[in-house]
Amino acid sequence: MQVEIIASPAFSFGRISLPAGSGVRAQSGAMGLMQGDVQVDTSTQGGFLAGIKRSFGGASFFLNEFKSGSGGVVGVGASLPGDLSVVSLTGANTLLVQSGCWIASDLSVDVDSSWGGAKGFFSGAGLILLRCSGQGDVLVSTYGAIQNLVLAPGEKITFDTGNVVAFDDTVQYAVRKAGGNWKTTLLGGEGFVTEFTGPGRVWWQTRSTSSLIQWIQRYVPPPPSSSSS
């Protein structure tokens, strides 16, 4: 993909240039503009079951393919305010992407609907993954600013699960309680964390989507209780 990221870092928007005969696959609802010779095709990309599994991984049930015959532009953006980043895949590596962070990718990149490699993230920690493999570029979004680092072999780092965006499949991970006991985990406000061990690349966001949801819930009035007559 040829991506120009504008309005960063708070309200990033990606302008994807499509040379003649090229295309891009994007999350349903991500498109903000189209220009030039661009056609759109919507499908489940693999059938009904593939769409169901992919939706549990944070992508939409339907995906859109934007293809251009003579050249055009597609603009995409995320639902939450934050940044965008392009991650390149060489074909030798697989990218694991946190739920809701995948926005678009080259047609040569497979957005896997299987759960392979995502074991351990179903521990209640709220971290569910998509697998992006193949050769090409992947556009990921964040809530807040995006940061990346490269872990050396054996090097470790720990993030709150809500701050994780993506990482190479060469990186080992383990989900655990933030504190040494359940009291610290439940009352200390930190919940679950994920420990990563290199080698490989890790992308993270400076704000947590789970913390945003909890903040909103404090101000949402409970539904009125129904009384029997």
pLDDT grade for 112, boundaries at 50, 70 and 90: confident
pLDDT at 226: 62
In tens, the pLDDT along 124-145 reads 444 568 889 999 999 999 999 9
Answer for the pair 171, 151: CB distance below 8 angstroms, yes or no. Answer: yes
Higher-confidence residue: 117 or 198? 198
In tens, the pLDDT along 40-81 reads 998 766 555 555 555 655 556 678 999 999 999 999 999 889
pLDDT at 125: 42
228 inside domain: no
Q: Quote the domain boundaries for residue 33.
A: 2-219
pLDDT at 161: 83
CATH code, domain with 34: 3.60.160.10
**Which residue in 63, 206, 73, 212 sits closest to 148, CA to CA?**
206
229 inside domain: no
In tens, the pLDDT along 74-108 reads 999 998 899 999 999 999 889 999 878 999 999 99
47 inside domain: yes
In tens, the pLDDT along 152-184 reads 999 999 998 889 999 999 999 988 776 655 555
Q: What value does the mean pLDDT of the chain take? A: 82
227 inside domain: no
- Number of structural domains, the chain? 1
64 inside domain: yes
Mean pLDDT of 176-200: 70
Answer for the pair 205, 143: CB distance below 8 angstroms, yes or no. Answer: yes
Whole-number Å distance between alpha carbons of 82 and 8: 7
Q: Which residues contact 27 (CB under 8 A, 6 or more apart)?
A: 59, 60, 63, 64, 76, 102, 103, 104
224 inside domain: no
pLDDT at 113: 56
Answer for the pair 75, 14: CB distance below 8 angstroms, yes or no. Answer: yes
